[in-house]
Amino acid sequence: MKLNPFPKPTSIGPVAGAENWQSMYPYFTHVQPEDDQRFWFYNSMHFSEPMSAFDMITAETAYHAMGAYMTRVFAFPTAMGIDYRVINGRVYITANTVTDPAKIQERLELFQQRAGHYYENWDKFYGEWEQRMLGLIRDMNAIKVPELPEYEDEAVVMQQRGTAQNHLVRTSYHRTIELYSQMWHHHFEMLMLGYGAYVVFFQFCKQAFPEITDQSVARMVAGIDVLMFRPDDELKKLARLAVELQLGDIFTSDGNPAVILPAVKARGAAGAQWLKALETAREPWFNISIGDGFYHYERSWNDDLSVPLSALPHYIDLVKQGVSLDRPTERLKQEREHIINEYRSLLGSDDEKAAFDQMLGVCHMVFPYVENHKFYCEHWLTTSFFNKVREFGTLLNRFGVIDEQSDIFQLHYTEVEQVLANVMNSWAAGSPPANLQHWKTIVKERRAMLKVLAQWQAPPAIGPMPANIEDPALQMLWGITTETLHRWAMPPGADTGEIKGYAASAGVVEGIARVLRSINDFGEVQEGDILVCPVTHPSWSPLFSKLKAAVSDIGGTMSHMAIVAREYGMPAVVGTGEATKRIKNGQRIRVDGDRGVVTILDEAA
Amino acid sequence: MTAEAVPTQALAWFKEIDLHAVPRVGGKGASLGELRRAGITIPDGFVLTTDAFRLFMAPLRQQLQLEPRIAALQGKDNTTLNSECAQIRAALTRHQCPPELQKAISTAWQELSENGKHAVAVRSSATSEDGADASFAGLQDTYLWVQSEAAMLEAVKLCWASLYNAESVSYRLRLAVAEAQLAMAVVIQRMVNSYCSGVMFTRSPTTGDRSVITLEGSWGLGSAIVSGEVTPDKYVINKITREITRRDIGCKLMAHVPAPNGGVLEQEVEADRQQQPCLQDAQILALAEIAKQVERHYGKPQDIEWALDQDGNILLLQSRPETVWANKDTAPVAKPAAKPFDHIFKVMGGKR
């Protein structure tokens, strides 16, 4: 079949009503003519929505840190960092590679020495890393955003501090940004080394067992005790306790804390006991984002208690029905051991078995970091960071430069600096901030543009198509292979009624599709539905107990949906690229988790 | 040798033999006995051993002056070779079995076929272990759906006579195989009126992957698949997770079915069954389990023929070692390194 070329980056025009979109992002993220010579793909896995100006920081700082660790710190022999561009609010990325053999050799020597140091001390460094992250989170939460009151605090005089607090506005803001940037550096400090171990084991398995499925490899690698399961486990505990204390009747599916919590409190000792358990669970486990931690509006469970509370009634029902909510950890462990032993026994020689043990051993060593870092970084620290930025939003709003607190997220972080300077001077000068309307107009325009841009169908890839994608990390993390590229390039009309993705969890079922775009649509899900969504997040875990199967646009076999679906033993197909576009809510579909195919059975619905 | 004792050794039921009997009952016969011993369901049957062949041939050797006559063919042209061989084969098929042998075969056949109620298959069973020995080149005679005693005896003689086809004889002459040592066993086995049938490999025939089972199946008797006359349904099953990772439903235009007067008939498959899968998932998984069991029993990958009878019972018709990938020297994918993470340096450095 003849494939359509991908559009050139410069050929993509603006969306009507959002012509001025580029004003939201720094000049160096804009597409230049020379970018047409390179292949880029839309990073819809991390940035599935258009970026508000402030949220661009989640891409910028992340790529600065990732690239630094690959290119400069560890000197990965063949891979450097990521270049990114923004088109109509979407983040496109391309990976830089090293091809010169002499350079690769030079980098390999550094890599062996530097990465070796980390691998050698992995568990110790991970322990220290966790402490460092906890410290960072404490520091972030401790940042004081100056109030800029009518008169300066007397202490400035009595203790001869020598600086007034408008000076500290800038200091605190810088500190907020710095700690966030520091988080991303910690995030990538060990992550790419962890992925390296995965990639090597995947590659070995593919060579030893050419037909092995990614999910079989993933099942050998995955550990059972993962922090990201804790929030959901805590919820289940709370559900059991609610039943035990006969409080089950209080919980409603709207999860409104303003109604529920006082009602619990009114139940005397039982209520108090449950509320105490809730408080224990909240710190730290409810510091989990409802998303993946890339957008300011993805709040934590702690920020919006209605999210965890709304999941309780279903769990309470299950407890009452006598259904065990415990994760079947023993079974999962046995299954994993079984798969490992069986594959191992099929290897041809003792040498291969020994190499297999070594590679898998390294995977198991790095697995806790690779999985658990998300809780500290993308969830806990990131939601704290956005909350700190909100405090600056409150300050700006008080001085009248923006209409509401959250408008601060419509400003790029470098623009916030300017507005803060205006406020700092206003406080000092004793006059209202200059040009009060300036940002209000811009914020209004940007909000309108984001609405329009959200409807834009971003092409999955742009620029010249590479002959093939050899990077196994791309496949594992983003679900992108040469085959994916070909599918993206398929001319329209080549529709077969089948949607292809990755077989993430085995089994074949048919059922009603429930297309969900955000956590706010959870209420629509009926028992036995098949979830169809862009991507799932750990905070969606409570949903899975209702589902029969799951389908996602984005994600590989180590993605959250894949892992959870395997635990629940339900078929799942991930990384389809287009399931939410092609499947309509309520349609009957068949999910084949053995082959990675979703079939729309009833086109009419 | 008494007249009574000879036929007893000339004939062996599957239950009496295992792989050690190869020199006497041939690879096919021994493998069926071995499968039965391993607890696998196979259609019952017996083998006419090499003793039976020798017993049958003894008077003929004299009569036809077989050894000097064949030795004389050395260096002769094809026409002479062909005509001499044809004469020898004709003499063989005309030759009557010694009465005690004939009686033994007849008794066994009556028991196996329940006095002709069930058809049998008659197959040559080469005495070299994997059938690859040059002296048996091209000898894979199989007579299916044989319904009468007379037809069965004729098929047996045709199997024996096939040792004297021109190709086989010229091979033996070239490799100087002594005629006196020549022998062949013949398997006589109850036929399965297959609902569907096919083959299984306990490793991938395309990639050599040992973690999968490749299963092919089609309607009717397995001869349609083996001869390549039909595009079968194809499944790939993961041995470890039992997932069916691939299903290609073939367009099965025809099937081999028993002919009314014996033998096999090619029959068109009704339109609505052509693209209908011939196996259900539970049957696929049951077959895969049996394949794993057989592979475990032999300790190496197997090439298996299977059938599903009209009552849904699974039977194996044959199992032999897989040879294509077994003969490929595969270097180990990786060897242990000094430190576990050295593997990462090898791969990341583009060394592997």
Return residues 39-98 of A near B (CB < 8 Å): 76-78
Q: What are the Cα distances from residue B38, in Å, to B15, B33, B48, B283? A: 11, 9, 22, 20
Interchain pair A359, B246: CB under 8 A: no
- Which residues of B fall within a CB distance of 8 Å from A120? 339, 341
Q: Is the pLDDT of residue A469 over 80?
A: no
In sequence order, what are the beta bridge partners of A530? A513, A549
- Interface ipTM: 0.85
In sequence order, what are the beta bridge partners of B257? B265
Interchain pair B334, A197: CB under 8 A: no
Contacts of A170 (CB under 8 A, 6+ apart): A417, A420, A421, A424
Return residues 469-498 of A near B (CB < 8 Å): none
Interchain pair B341, A352: CB under 8 A: no
B240 closest CB neighbour out of A342, A357, A503? A342
Chain A nearest C-alpha distance from B171 (Å): 36
Tokens of A274: 């449950």
Closest Cα in chain A to B241: A339
Model confidence at A491, in pLDDT bands (50, 70, 90)? low
- What pLDDT sits at residue B5? 46
Interchain pair B334, A352: CB under 8 A: yes
- What pLDDT sits at residue B4? 45
Q: Is the pLDDT of residue B133 over 60?
A: no
Interchain pair A200, B211: CB under 8 A: no
Closest Cα in chain B to A217: B241
Place of tokens 């490793």: B203
Q: Is the pLDDT of residue B130 over 50?
A: no
Among A80-89, A563-572, B240-249, name the most confident range.
A80-89
Q: Which CATH superfamily does the domain covering B5-190 fall into?
A: ATP-grasp fold, A domain (3.30.1490.20)
Task: Please compute the mean of the pLDDT values over residues A348-373 and round it to a whole number.
Answer: 94
Q: Where in chain B is CATH 3.30.470.20?
A: 194-321
Edge-first strand order for the sheet with B185-190 is B11-13, B45-48, B185-190, B120-125, B142-146
> Tens digits of per-residue pLDDT, B187-229?
999 999 899 999 999 998 888 899 999 999 999 988 888 777 7
Model confidence at A551, in pLDDT bands (50, 70, 90)? very high
- What pLDDT sits at residue A296? 97
> Tens digits of per-residue pLDDT, B305-320?
999 999 999 999 989 8
Using a pLDDT cut of 70, give the percent of chain A over it. Answer: 96
A354 closest CB neighbour out of B211, B336, B347? B336
Q: Where in chain B is CATH 3.30.1490.20?
A: 5-190
- What pLDDT sits at residue B106? 95
Determine the Cα–Cα distance for residues B300 and A335; give it in Å rounded to an integer: 25
More confident residue, A315 or A491: A315
Determine the Cα–Cα distance for residues A428 and B243; give it in Å rounded to an integer: 71
Determine the Cα–Cα distance for residues B87 and A556; give it in Å rounded to an integer: 69
Average per-residue pLDDT for chain A:
91
> Tens digits of per-residue pLDDT, B83-108?
999 999 999 999 999 999 999 999 99
Q: Is the pLDDT of residue B132 over 50?
A: no
Q: Is the pLDDT of residue A478 over 50?
A: yes
Radius of gyration of chain B (CA): 23
Of the listed ranges A428-432, A519-523, B334-338, the least confidently predicted one is A519-523
B225-234 residues labelled b (16+ CB within 10 A) or e (exposed): bbeeebbbbe
Task: Please compute the mean of the pLDDT values over residues B279-297 and round it to a whole number.
Answer: 95
The kind and range of the H/E element at A531 are strand A530-533
- Which residues of B fall within a CB distance of 8 Å from A594? 243-245
Burial of B5 (0-12, 13-18, 19+ CB in 10 A): exposed
Determine the Cα–Cα distance for residues B287 and B242; give it in Å rounded to an integer: 11
Of the listed ranges A325-339, A366-380, A398-412, B318-332, the least confidently predicted one is B318-332
Using a pLDDT cut of 90, give the percent of chain A over it. Answer: 70
| B324 Cβ under 8 Å from any chain A Cβ | no
Closest Cα in chain A to B236: A211
Model confidence at A489, in pLDDT bands (50, 70, 90)? confident
**Amino acid residing at A203:** Q
- What pLDDT sits at residue A603? 65
- What pLDDT sits at residue A605? 42
| B327 Cβ under 8 Å from any chain A Cβ | no
Q: Is the pLDDT of residue A494 over 90?
A: no
Return residues 284-343 of A near B (CB < 8 Å): 338-339, 342-343
Q: What are the Cα distances from residue A92, in Å, to A38, A42, A47, A330, A460? A: 11, 4, 9, 42, 9
Chain B nearest C-alpha distance from A489 (Å): 25
Task: Please compute the mean of the pLDDT values over residues B12-16 and round it to a whole number.
Answer: 95
> Tens digits of per-residue pLDDT, B168-180?
888 888 877 777 7
Residue A521, φ and ψ in degrees, nearest 5: -95, 5
B345 closest CB neighbour out of A111, A208, A361? A111
Using a pLDDT cut of 70, give the percent of chain B over it. Answer: 93
Place of tokens 């730290």: A284
Determine the Cα–Cα distance for residues A69 and A110; give it in Å rounded to an integer: 13
Residue B286, φ and ψ in degrees, nearest 5: -65, -45
Q: Nearest to residue A202, comparing CAs of A371, A356, A370?
A: A356
> Which three-class secondary structure state does DSSP give residue B319?
strand
Across A48-188, the runs of DSSP E, i.e. the strands, are 79-87, 90-97
Closest Cα in chain B to A473: B348
Contacts of B79 (CB under 8 A, 6+ apart): none
Which class is domain A495-600? Answer: alpha beta
| B330 Cβ under 8 Å from any chain A Cβ | yes
Which class is domain B194-321? Answer: alpha beta
Task: Please compute the mean of the pLDDT values over residues A140-154 and round it to a whole number.
Answer: 97
Model confidence at A14, in pLDDT bands (50, 70, 90)? very high
A212 closest CB neighbour out of B211, B336, B347? B211
Interchain pair B347, A200: CB under 8 A: yes
- What pLDDT sits at residue B3? 42
Of the listed ranges A251-265, B125-139, B247-261, the least confidently predicted one is B125-139
| B234 Cβ under 8 Å from any chain A Cβ | no
Closest Cα in chain B to A350: B335
Place of tokens 């460094």: A125
Preceding omega of A284 cis (within 30 degrees of 0): yes
Q: Is the pLDDT of residue A61 over 80?
A: yes
Task: Please compute the mean of the pLDDT values over residues A19-28 and round it to a whole number.
Answer: 97
> Tens digits of per-residue pLDDT, A91-125?
999 988 888 999 999 999 999 999 999 999 999 99
More confident residue, A273 or A469: A273
Task: Please compute the mean of the pLDDT values over residues A237-263 and round it to a whole number.
Answer: 95
Determine the Cα–Cα distance for residues B87 and B72; give it in Å rounded to an integer: 15
| B90 Cβ under 8 Å from any chain A Cβ | no
Tokens of A605: 């619905």
| B68 Cβ under 8 Å from any chain A Cβ | no
Query: DSSP labels for A332-371?
Result: HHHHHHHHHHHHHHHSSSHHHHHHHHHHHHHHHHHHHHHH
| B288 Cβ under 8 Å from any chain A Cβ | no
A351 closest CB neighbour out of B245, B246, B335? B335
Place of tokens 């050899």: A470
- Which residues of B fall within a CB distance of 8 Å from A343? 211, 240
> Which three-class secondary structure state does DSSP give residue A216?
helix
Tokens of B144: 């299916």
Of the listed ranges B68-72, B157-161, B330-334, the least confidently predicted one is B330-334
Q: Is the pLDDT of residue B131 over 50?
A: no
In sequence order, what are the beta bridge partners of A36? none
Of the listed ranges A55-64, A422-431, B310-319, the least confidently predicted one is B310-319
Label each residue of B127-190 as H, E or C: CCCCCCCHHHCCCCCEEEEECCHHHHHHHHHHHHHHHHCHHHHHHHHHHCCCHHHCCCEEEEEE
DSSP state of A226: -
Edge-first strand order for the sheet with A90-97 is A79-87, A90-97, A40-42, A461-462
Determine the Cα–Cα distance for residues A86 and A42; give it in Å rounded to an integer: 9
Determine the Cα–Cα distance for residues A48 and A74; give it in Å rounded to an integer: 30
Closest Cα in chain B to A196: B344
Cβ pairs A/B, distance under 8 A: 127
- Which residues of B fall within a CB distance of 8 Å from A78? 348-350
Interchain pair B245, A352: CB under 8 A: no
A358 closest CB neighbour out of B207, B244, B337? B337
Chain B nearest C-alpha distance from A199 (Å): 8
Query: DSSP labels for B186-252?
Result: EEEEEPP-EEEEEEEESS-TTT--TTEEEEEEEEBBTHHHHTT-S--EEEEEETTT--EEEEE----
Task: Please compute the mean of the pLDDT values over residues B110-118 and round it to a whole number.
Answer: 94
| B52 Cβ under 8 Å from any chain A Cβ | no
